[in-house]
Amino acid sequence: MAWSSSPASAPRNQGLVIPDDWPGYKLDLFTFPHHYSEDLECVFIPHGIITDRTERLAKNIMNDIGDNYITVLCVLKGGYKFCADLVEHIKNLSRNSDKFISMRVDFVKVKSYCNDQSMEEIQIIGGEELSKLTGKNVLIVEDIVGTGRTMRSLLSHIEKFKPKMLKVVSLLVKRTQEGHGYRPDYAGFEIPNIFVVGYALDYNEYFRDLNHICIISEKAKAKYKV
């Protein structure tokens, strides 16, 4: 494994950097749903590494905003597995820590992709409930940040309701030429500008049931295209 780790002085929002030339792991080293055997190029990030990195993010969040009541706002659908695992890690840490985070979990759905392309118009579904965030400490849990355009739109919408605190944790951050300079407060992994699936990240609603994060084949993109 040749991933680069951030130096101690680097900002936490950089995440664990996976280089552009990372080839991933051969599929036959792991188990996954057999019906996807012809649809994947490789296992890009194994589930066990995702779990360990998520636990570290939970510890960072505890250290920063412990002893607070927070509303965890999960961005559906791709963020649900990451959110569930992150919240569970925070709960476990809270039981054995001098700090404690009391959490309420809510959900918002954001649609920004068709096939593997980002859409111009971003749809926020469930936004009518966001008025409850006024005066609250809010932690947005996202699966992946690409150009940052979607998250900037969501943040701008939520800020209208004047939350007390607003932070973002994203499992993945892409290195893109179209990036708008946005970085979440906490990031799990920084990855190349590739389309990945699994661990609830989908391609037209397929591949959410993969435990690992994988690279989808071009053949599969054509197969499941809408």
Find how far residue 136's CA is from the centre of its chain. 22
Q: With cut-offs at 50, 70 and 90, classify the pLDDT of residue 9.
A: very low
Q: What is the pLDDT of residues 133-145, one digit of tens each?
A: 999 999 999 999 9
Q: Model's pTM, two decimal places?
A: 0.88
Tell me the C-alpha distance between 197 and 20, whole Å. 17
Q: With cut-offs at 50, 70 and 90, classify the pLDDT of residue 7.
A: very low
pLDDT of residue 119: 53
pLDDT of residue 141: 97
- Tell me what the pLDDT averaged over the chain comes to: 87
Assess contact for 16 and 6: CB atoms under 8 A: yes
pLDDT of residue 37: 86
For the chain, give every domain's residue range: 52-191
Q: What is the pLDDT of residues 204-214, one digit of tens each?
A: 999 999 999 99
Q: What is the pLDDT of residues 62-93, one digit of tens each?
A: 999 988 899 999 998 899 999 999 999 999 99
Please provide the DSSP assignment of the chain as one string. Answer: --PBPPPTTS-GGG-EEPPTT---B-GGGS---GGGTTTEEEEEE-HHHHHHHHHHHHHHHHHHH-SEEEEEEEEETTTHHHHHHHHHHHHHHHHTSSS-EEEEEEEEEEEEEETTEEEEEEEEESGGGGGGGTT-EEEEEEEEESSSHHHHHHHHHHHTT--SEEEEEEEEEE--TT--S---SEEEEEE-S--EEBTTB-BTTBSTT-SSEEEEPHHHHHHT--
CATH fold for the domain made of 52-191: Rossmann fold (3.40.50)
Asked whether residue 176 carries a pLDDT value surpassing 80, the answer given is yes
